[in-house]
Amino acid sequence: MKKYISIALTSLLALTMFSCTKKADIAGIEPKLPNLQLSSLGYQQSSPFTLTTVLQLNFGATAKVPVGKFILEVLDGTTVVNTVTFPSWSGNDASSTAKVVNHSISYSLQDSNYPNVQVYSGSILLSLSKLNLAFDKTYSVRASAYSATGDLVSKITQSAFFKTIPAPVVPK
C-alpha cells in the first residue's frame, strides 16, 4: 500500500511540476528595456564581393521611442572611408536623387509582447560601386540608429565585415 501511495504522490508532484506555465512579467521587464537598441547587423550573401555588388545588409532593432535617421559608415581599419545617411528608416539615402537611387533602407515591424516597444526587422541595399572602395581590401561597418529627436543613438560595429575582390575578367 505504501508503494502505491508513494507512486501516486510522485506522479502528482511530477504533473504539477511540469504542467505549470510561466508567464513573463511584461510590466516588470518592459521599463528595463533600452529606449533604442540596434541588436544585429549582418548579411546572407557570400563574401568576397566585387565592387559592382549590391550588398543586402539585415539589421534588427527595438525602440520605445520614434526612430529618426540611420547612418552607415564603411571603415578601413579605424578610418571612415564613406558614410551613407538615411533620413529615415524607410526610403533612399540622402545622396540619391529622383532619377538615381544609390542606397535604400526598409523595415517591417515584428510582433512583440511588449505594448510600448517596436521590434524592427530591416534591410539596407548598399551599392558598393557608389562607396569609392578599393578591391582586395577588408572593410568594417558601423551602423548608428537615431531617435526622431536625435538625442538617443545606438551603434553596432562589425569588424572585418566584408572583403572586396576585382571583377572577373570576361574573355573576348
Q: What is the pLDDT of residues 9-41, one digit of tens each?
A: 666 556 565 555 666 677 788 888 999 999 999
Domain count, the chain: 1
The CATH code of the domain that includes 82 is 2.60.40.10
Q: What is the pTM of this model?
A: 0.82
In a domain, 171, yes or no: no
In a domain, 19, yes or no: no
In a domain, 10, yes or no: no
**Measuring CA to CA, how many Å separate 148 from each of 20, 82, 107, 122, 166?**
42, 23, 16, 17, 40
In a domain, 119, yes or no: yes
Report which of residues 82 and 172 the model is more confident about.
Answer: 82
Altogether, the residues listed in the chain come to a count of 172
Domain that holds residue 130: 34-164
Q: By the 8 A CB rule, do 87 and 80 touch?
A: no
